[in-house]
Amino acid sequence: MKKPTRRAAAPPAPAVALEDAPMSDIIDALSGGRVTATALTNAYLARIAAYDRGGPMLNSVRALNPDALAIAAELDGARPSARRPLAGVPILVKDNIATGDRQATTAGSLALEGARAKRDATVVKLLRKAGAMILGKANLTEFANILAIEMPSGYSSLGGQVKNPYVPTLMDDRGIPLVDPGGSSSGSAVAVAAGLCAASIGTETSGSLLHPATRNGLVTVKPTVGLISRAGIVPIAHSQDTAGPMTRTVRDAAMLLNVLAAKDPRDPATERQRRPADYTADLARDAMKGARIGVPSDSADPLNDFYYGKLPSDGAKLMAEVIKVLEDLGAVIVRANMPTRGWIAGPGTGMAVLNRNPLSSNKGNPTGSPIVFLYELKYGLNLYLKDWATNTEIKTMADIIAFNAANAKEALRFGQDLFLASDLTKGDLSEREYKSARAMDLLAARTHGMDAYMNQHKLDAVLFPGATGAAIAAKAGYPSVMVPAGFVSGADGKDTPDYPLGVSFAGRAWSEHKLLRLAYAYEQASQMRKAPPGLPAL
């Protein structure tokens, strides 16, 4: 008698609710043997298939690591430990972070399709050393949103459009989201919010961690420039570029910072680094007591009430509730506008670029862009292509521009005006206008801005709604920590479902630990994060 054919056993269901589990819970499950790296990886791959490739088609994962399951199998015998705290944890990295494996590193560009890296970026090297499994590459705004004027957040010619998981609606036939997912680390943020990975790594030059974190109800740390190595990251501007974690909780972000904050001979900025032994130490509910928190808003001076004065009614109401929570926790709230010359930027820090974006309502008019970005872009990108890129014929920024022009229908939906402007620079940072602009950025944002404000009012941190304080902190090279604060609705005059709004605590260089402690106290008191609707456990 013929024996019945046995069906292959389905992979065991993970012992944690991956749709909303903090990374710390996943680590606990791995440590306790309640789940394996392979089971986790299979479960995340299933959620990616269901929600990123199917269902709402969030499109946050540009490409999966072809060796993910093989690496997970090798990690099945490992347990997280002091030496390897992330053993078996699946993590996505933004696709402008080099991986020296079979995965491409493309920055979302068709011109770099198939391009690989000669070695791991330092952040990836540190993740692997800690035992993390690199699940794949997250989609992003192409070249971290330095290619074209008014490129939508989360769009790349290679990866397409990332959607916000709280409002995954596209506005019109152009495919632009009704509520954008935040840029440029949009895929990194959406994947974490949707439960497609345990955590992710994004990058920021000015707002690219904070903006997607606030729009997706996440915690992020935009570090002091030099805390995390920039080696192996496709650059915009080295004076402001940094990587940072995307997580569901403050503790998770602190755990990742423990791994990522390390000196690196490939990045001289890290030589100045100052950090505690453990960023998770002293995360306490009473950390807000006695802290002096600056709220840059003075209704008696409305024309200079830049950060709070123009908030929509629901945003203003939410921020009032946030401030009430901080007061109840014992914080001293100091209400005073930021010095005008701090946020308004210094003379000679911006330049006009002709807007040729065919889909822009402002097409044909000049648009302002930071001088530092455009000058440092050509210099840094050419170095990256020379020192890191392989398996590609693209060797310079000029090659990318030429490729895009030759493949304009697919590659230049929104143009490449910023690349064109950058390519007109010498590319060696020798120009006086560049040096002057960088000096003025520091004078305005640091000396006359954050430093003057915090010194005058003896502040521990500055509280900003959402990502509104991103530019002043980024120009200064200073850190910010974002934490979920609630929900708002509406976009461009249209009704929408609710989507998240966060608050950021910004401070002086190397103050990440203090900011994490303040953010943790607020997070524990408010508990405002909620997972996106419609993405349940499978």
Q: Which residues are catalytic?
A: 94, 184, 208
Listing DSSP states for 433-468 in one string gives: HHHHHHHHHIIIIIIIIIIHHHHHHT-SEEEEETTT
DSSP 416: -
Q: Please report the sign of the dihedral spanned by the C-alpha atoms of residue 79, residue 83, residue 85, residue 86.
A: negative
Closest CA to 486 of 295, 317, 350, 247: 317
516 close to 221: Cβ distance less than 8 angstroms = yes
Distance CA 319, CA 298 (A): 14
Burial of 386 (0-12, 13-18, 19+ CB in 10 A): exposed
In DSSP terms, 61 is beta-bridged to 138
Q: Please report the sign of the dihedral spanned by the C-alpha atoms of residue 504, residue 204, residue 127, residue 165.
A: positive
> How many C-beta atoms lie closer than 10 Å to residue 98's C-beta?
27
Torsions phi, psi of 272, nearest 5? -85, 0
The pair of three-digit structure tokens given for residue 237, joined into one six-digit string: 């501007």
> 206 in helix, strand or coil?
coil
Closest CA to 283 of 422, 481, 9: 481
In DSSP terms, 434 is beta-bridged to none
